[in-house]
A = this chain, B = another copy of it.
Amino acid sequence: MAVGDDDLATVRQLPIFRGLAPDALRSLVKDAEVLAYSKRTAIFEQGDRVTHFFGVLSGWVKLYRLRPDGSEVIIEVFGPGESFAEGAICMPDGYPVSAEMVERGRLLAVPVAAYIDRLREDPDMVVRTFASLAVNLKRLVSRIETASSLTSSQRVGAFLLHFCAPSRPYGSAVDVQLPYDKKLIANRLGMKPETFSRALAQLRNHGVTVQGGNARIADLALLRRHVSPD
């Protein structure tokens, strides 16, 4: 499906396209298409030849690796306004991870061949692409750091804090919507579902109450202190 005017606003916010001149953007998305996926649809598999990179218009996508024993390790989860797999553009051995929808949603799929041609013509786009790549690179670095130096309840706390930017304070309390399955959050944070559940229970001592997919943080500063004690 071609890119409609309603999607264009979201596309313009993608890190890899942000700040692009309107006409340059329009000509660029002419090569791309919008794909609607249902929950649990595979987008690409580890080892597949790299044909596209993607922007998320709606829904959530998990990037993961399959272990020999069948378990999967979540590398990263991307949501609306984020792009992924730009780093795979020049990978001759194919995507290093698999990608799958975790909620139904719509993706912008940009063919790499056409994109590389544009890169040759427009040096500014090179810089933009590097910048977008840098965003995801930093996320991986942070992931390594937190995984190896925080306890499970600290990681869960950091996750909640990361997701309460767009919500509203009720007085000093903040409500956070858990964006997807708790099982997936657990895996993304490098722990088992049981441990995640216990971590939430622990966080009650730090002003966090959870009911269903909704969490309320009574005191941001208190939680921050638990996540990174000075």
Which residues from chain A sit less than 8 Å from chain B, CB to CB? 65, 67-69, 71, 73, 75, 87-92, 96-97, 116, 119-120, 123, 126-127, 130-131, 133-134, 137-138, 140-141, 143-145, 147-149, 190, 228-230
Give the oligomeric copy count.
Answer: 2
Q: A73-B145, A89-B134, A126-B126 given. 8 additional CB < 8 A pairs?
A: A67-B149, A68-B230, A75-B141, A75-B144, A91-B138, A120-B123, A143-B144, A148-B190
A87 neighbours in B (Cβ, 8 Å):
133-134, 137
With contact pairs A148-B73, A149-B71 given, residues A89 and B130 touching in the complex (Cβ less than 8 Å): yes
A68 neighbours in B (Cβ, 8 Å):
228-230
Q: Are A144 and B141 in contact (CB under 8 A)?
A: no
Q: In this complex, which of A68, A87, A190 has the most chain B Cβ atoms within 10 angstroms of its Cβ?
A: A87
With contact pairs A73-B149, A120-B123, A149-B71 given, residues A140 and B144 touching in the complex (Cβ less than 8 Å): yes
Q: Please pick, from B73, B116, B127, the residue contacting A90 in the complex, using a CB distance under 8 A.
A: B127
Q: Are A141 and B140 in contact (CB under 8 A)?
A: yes
A89 neighbours in B (Cβ, 8 Å):
130, 134
List, sorted by A's number, 8 A–B pairs whose CB atoms are closer than 8 Å. Answer: A75-B141, A75-B145, A87-B133, A90-B130, A90-B131, A90-B133, A92-B131, A96-B138
